[in-house]
Structure 1
Amino acid sequence: MTSTRIDARFAALAAEGRPALVTFVTAGDPDPDTSLALVKALPAAGADVIELGMPFSDPMADGPAIQAAGLRALKAGQTLAKTLALVRAFREGDDTTPLVLMGYYNPIYNYGVERFVAEAKESGVDGLIVVDLPPEEDEELCLPALRGGLNFVRLATPTTDEKRLPAVLANTSGFVYYVSVNGITGTAAPDTARVAEAVGRIKRHTALPVAVGFGVRTAEQAAAIGENADGVVVGSAIVAAIAGSLDAEDRATERTLSAVTSLVTALARGVREARRDAAA
């Protein structure tokens, strides 16, 4: 498989000696135009990698904030085709920021795997995170995605033991996403010491970068996690910032864009200070 934007970005940041800030927003939240404006604004605010959620009506791994974002997006008419169109529009002005689609298999299956992989690659998607496809189902999407030139990013969790880890890592590419807490997104804060231990354990099995997510909400947490991880993933806090800026009918306001960019700027400052503090 040829090198992707994800590979290039993590390599560049490793050379800088700092972790990546990986930001998550839901495609189409709170409406298509605002969503595109938000995604376009993320790199300038400090995002190194963008995860774009594919809205789904039954998001079993997501907490209340991201569930609500998905429902807002679906209500506003977001579809998988429109999500790919959003990526194409983003790529018109940004050909370097890695972009990963994150979600569930059902919408992809209904769209058609071969069609989805081809259109995702053509639109400028770099990788996929599909949370409900275990390694035993790699023929469904993982292997077609890899053959199509897309990274397939797998999740490892606190319950992924030494016996299971090689299977999880077997066809993973781009980076490994370590889920720092058990349960759904955005509901608990990660234990920094345990995260450091887990990242070290995963790195004994793979040369891939390890990004840590679930529960990171502040610049201080991002800095602490970033001392050991190659990337820090923030989703629920950003989605909550969007929700907090909306009006009573869940429509975007003049505060929506700045609510997100100010938070991302603070988080970016945290990850940029992480390794410097560790080395001081």
Structure 2
Amino acid sequence: MPAPTPVGATVHQRRAIDLEDLVEWTIRTQRADRDRVSLHAVELAAAAAIRRSHRPAGSFDAPAGWGVDSCVRVAEIGLAGTRVDGGGQIRGVAPRLHPDAEAVIAAIDRAFGSLKGWRRCVLDQARVGGRPLWNLGAQRFVPVKNTAPQGGGRRHVVMSEWETVPPLSVVARRMIGRGIRIVDDRGRRKFQQAEPGFSYRTLDDGSRQVVVRWSAVELLPSDAEIRDAREEYAAWHAGMMRVLGELLEVPLRDYRVTGFAAPAMPWIFT
């Protein structure tokens, strides 16, 4: 049985938090991913030794030592268990992180290992906050923009082709068949040989063709854009689930992870 809490003792209440908010706090507020980003390789080894609570090999004076440089200073300060006022922050070494932020960034490192793409996806999204944009809106037809160097004076692409139309004699017979006069009171035709604004041509067999023009359209967002947005969201969600798996058994000081509420495929429910 757990030991009873002493009378008058303060009970530390951990704050319930969703994984998404915890990772965003770790990266965006605590900037835990910035730690050690500009350390030299030897300095990084010293920092790693500190984290493992091991004294680095060598010393200031030993022939195999690292020399009197920043990596030894980092190591000695860490082993001393205190902060030394040296006039400012050491290059590449972030200020002391919250222990929960340290635990989260360590879990992220364990979750991905060599999977740099997934790790970058999770960290990039945490820096800006929120979730990857998967809903690009309803698809709609829009005119295709004209990207030609000259453009032809048009903002959008205009397509055209020759389309066969009935000869004038056929048109006249149809009008007569419907009881429509093809000439006016002065004996002039009521229909013109070619309507203004249209280009016609007559072929050797007597058939006529007219140029038909239309604006080319495309769907926006495109199927490829929708697919890419959903794949990015799915990769982020899968990465966060890996982090959750690493954090389930990690005791945090001030936070208690309640889970990961973001849906895996939100587009299914829209």
TM-score range, shorter chain: under 0.3
Please identify the structure whose Cα radius of gyration is greater. 2
| TM score, norm. by length of structure 2 | 0.24
Q: TM-score, normalised by structure 1?
A: 0.23
Higher relative contact order (CA 8 A, sep 6+): 2
Higher share of residues assigned helix? 1
